[in-house]
DNA sequence: CTTATGCTTCGATTAAGGTCGAACCATGAA
DNA sequence: TTCATGGTTCGACCTTAATCGAAGCATAAG
């Protein structure tokens, strides 16, 4: 009578209102802290912590620690697919994406974060590299694939030289405004440096804003398409 | 906090073990009576009746009365799609049933997913149709090309008749074992039905396994080559 | 009619788990 | 160091709902 995987356990995880609210909020793709998710779900932090550890044990979330904050995001896009399907069943349609109002447009768009690119374009860079299979996220590490190495070499970035340095080549970094991953590590720094060399972008010295030229932005979008 | 459709309620419906068992059995596409589903789920008929009315209220089932029997089947292939997705999550999260019996191998090879072909051969069918240009995936829809329509017509499948029905002709369904797309929708059902008519394959009545004959498999592989 | 079968409803029991207060642990700041 | 903050663990309370016995309907057969 029982064939295949046990869907009851996973479905029961999603089936609790508080947990479902958390998952729905995380559909935005952002990573949120325990406190924020507690607020969204309308429960106390203790309760939220319990829920989140259960969701995590069920493989639905991906946790990341940064300082004394703990960020949670959906484990994979497959999770998002299933959630979307459930929404479809629940109401047929009408899923609304919430968007935070842009405060400082330029800072949100592109800025420097420890010498690598952050903000909207930073996450686009990261997502595009992931989507094209140039980066692969394993259990703990972010790895540059062979295809990715060739891709980077085409940009005239000395990958082997970077590999010789003791600093990690690829690292994920979570930034404040987007709450999503972008590429840090020596490769992240090399990317930004290369963008400056190519005159695609330059940094504003007074602020952390990175200004892309018209043609630079075009080239960037061509090389790192959003749905890549 | 109540934004969008309530996925908690629908997920909670699937989240009960007894109900999940019933839904899993119904993935075969067959319509079953209350008694049969009670048997499958391992509960009494009263309990099953209660569960089934809840699933029905949730829009997951389609009931049909025939004499003093009441038959239930899945409400739509969208329900099956979500269930398959949940199976994928469950299989990936380590909640997979450890005992990898011979039945699991057969299930992975070829099985029924709401009356269409799933498993290894299901994805082969899909990939081959895509590779030969018979199917095209647009932004939202999966479309049968003119060449594809001719190809299907050669198989003595009445495409125009299927098009007249309100059910979608082509649809993607994500496979839990393969984690890839296979063909659902009325065309997917028509394919499997045709395979049975041609005596290429037959369904195991107790499980969701689809058994291909030697010559049937050969013909299948000739018509839908892996690299096609 | 009577009888049998398939299913539903009602009610009581019982097990599961969501919830929060309080205490505890870990990290960062002063 | 001390203090503040974000998160976890523990324990007790309490709501929810799964379960089945028993009775009630409905349909079909004799």
- Considering only A207-211, B19-23, B144-148, which range has the smallest mean pLDDT? A207-211
> Which three-class secondary structure state does DSSP give residue B74?
strand
- Considering only A68-77, A142-151, B165-174, B204-213, which range has the smallest mean pLDDT? B165-174
Could you tell me which residues of chain A have a Cβ less than 8 Å from any Cβ in chain B?
1-17, 19-21, 23-24, 40-42, 58-60, 78-79, 81-83, 85-92, 94-96, 98
* pLDDT of A93 strictly over 60: no
Specify the higher pLDDT residue, A2 or A24: A24
Residues of B in contact with A60 (CB under 8 A): 89, 93
* pLDDT of A66 strictly over 50: yes
Residues of A in contact with B3 (CB under 8 A): 24, 96, 98
Question: What is the band of A177 on the pLDDT scale with cuts at 50, 70, 90?
Answer: low
Specify the pLDDT at position B104.
63
Q: Provide mean pLDDT across the span A61-68.
A: 87
CB contact under 8 Å between B97 and A2, yes or no, is yes
Specify the pLDDT at position A163.
84
Percent of chain A with pLDDT over 70: 84
Specify the pLDDT at position A204.
75
Which of B1, B4, B86 has its CB closest to that of A87? B4
Q: Provide mean pLDDT across the span A27-48.
A: 89
Residue spans of the domains in chain A: they are: 7-91, 105-223
Is the CB of B214 within 7 Å of strand C?
no
Element (H, E) at B182: strand B181-184
Nearest CA in chain A to B4: A95
CA–CA dist A156, A159 (Å, integer):
9
CA–CA dist A30, A62 (Å, integer):
11
CB contact under 8 Å between B21 and A1, yes or no, is yes
Nearest CA in chain B to A94: B4
Question: What is the band of A100 on the pLDDT scale with cuts at 50, 70, 90?
Answer: very low
* pLDDT of A141 strictly over 50: yes
Specify the pLDDT at position A14.
97
Question: What is the band of A3 on the pLDDT scale with cuts at 50, 70, 90?
Answer: low
CA–CA dist B18, B55 (Å, integer):
11
Percent of chain A with pLDDT over 90: 45
Specify the pLDDT at position B228.
60
Residues of A in contact with B86 (CB under 8 A): 7, 10-11, 82
**Number of C-beta neighbours around residue A167 at 10 A:** 10
Question: What is the band of A184 on the pLDDT scale with cuts at 50, 70, 90?
Answer: confident
Residues 48-67 of A with CB under 7 A from strand C: 50-51, 54, 67
Question: What is the band of B141 on the pLDDT scale with cuts at 50, 70, 90?
Answer: confident
Specify the pLDDT at position A207.
63
Specify the higher pLDDT residue, B50 or B29: B50
Question: What's the start-to-end Cα distance of chain A, in Å?
Answer: 42
Specify the pLDDT at position B99.
37
Specify the higher pLDDT residue, A140 or B188: B188
* pLDDT of B179 strictly over 60: no
- How near does any CA of chain B get to the CA of A180, in Å? 22
- How near does any CA of chain B get to the CA of A62, in Å? 12
Listed in order, strand segments (DSSP E) in chain A are 32-33, 61-66, 69-74, 111-113, 116-118, 135-137, 142-144, 171-174, 181-184, 201-203, 210-212
Sign for the CA dihedral angle at B207, B49, B83, B188 comes to: positive
| Chain C nucleotides covered by protein, CB below 7 Å | 5-10, 17-23, 26-28
Nearest nucleotide by C1' position to the B42 CA atom: D19
DSSP assignment letter at B166: S
Specify the pLDDT at position A103.
37
* pLDDT of B223 strictly over 70: yes
Residues of B in contact with A40 (CB under 8 A): 1
Specify the pLDDT at position B167.
72
Residues 27-46 of B with CB under 7 A from strand D: 43-44, 46
Contact A194, A96 (CB under 8 A): no
Percent of chain B with pLDDT over 70: 88
DSSP assignment letter at A95: -
CA A70 – C1' D1 distance (Å)?
27
Q: Provide mean pLDDT across the span B89-100.
A: 58
* pLDDT of A139 strictly over 60: no
Place of tokens 């695609």: A200
> What does pLDDT average to over chain A?
83
Strongest mean pLDDT among A45-54, A81-90, B81-90: A45-54
Residues of A in contact with B168 (CB under 8 A): none
**Number of C-beta neighbours around residue A75 at 10 A:** 20
Residues of A in contact with B113 (CB under 8 A): none
Which of B8, B19, B82 has its CB closest to that of A89? B82
CATH topology of domain A7-91: Arc Repressor Mutant, subunit A (1.10.10)
- How near does any CA of chain A get to the CA of B73, in Å? 16
Specify the pLDDT at position A148.
94
Specify the pLDDT at position B100.
41
Specify the pLDDT at position A105.
67
Q: Provide mean pLDDT across the span B165-186.
A: 74
B7-75 maps to which CATH number? 1.10.10.10
Question: What is the band of B176 on the pLDDT scale with cuts at 50, 70, 90?
Answer: low
- Considering only A160-164, A215-219, B100-104, which range has the smallest mean pLDDT? B100-104
- Considering only B20-24, B68-72, B122-126, B166-170, which range has the smallest mean pLDDT? B166-170
Q: Which of A115, A148, A166 is nearest to A157 (CA)?
A: A148
Residues 62-101 of B with CB under 7 A from strand C: 68-70
């Amino acid at each position: 009578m029982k064939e295949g995987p046990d869907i009851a356990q996973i479905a029961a995880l999603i089936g609790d209102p508080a947990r479902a609210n958390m998952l729905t909020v995380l559909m935005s793709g952002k990573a949120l802290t325990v406190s924020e998710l507690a607020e969204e779900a309308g429960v106390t932090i203790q309760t939220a912590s319990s829920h989140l550890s259960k969701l995590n044990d069920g493989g639905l979330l991906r946790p990341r620690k940064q300082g004394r904050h703990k960020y949670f995001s959906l484990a994979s896009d497959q999770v998002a697919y299933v959630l979307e399907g459930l929404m479809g069943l629940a109401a047929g349609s009408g899923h609304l994406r919430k968007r935070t109002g842009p405060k400082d447009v330029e800072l949100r768009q592109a800025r420097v974060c420890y010498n690598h690119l952050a903000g909207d374009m930073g996450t686009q860079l990261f997502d595009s590299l992931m989507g094209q299979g140039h980066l692969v996220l394993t259990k703990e590490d972010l790895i540059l694939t062979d295809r990715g190495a060739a891709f980077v070499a085409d940009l005239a970035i000395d990958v082997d030289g970077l590999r010789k340095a003791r600093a990690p080549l690829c690292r994920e970094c979570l930034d404040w405004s987007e709450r999503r991953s972008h590429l840090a590590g020596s490769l992240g720094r090399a990317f930004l440096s290369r963008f400056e060399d190519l005159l695609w972008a330059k940094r504003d010295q007074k602020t952390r804003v990175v200004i892309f030229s018209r043609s630079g932005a075009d080239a960037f979008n061509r090389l790192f398409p959003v749905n890549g």
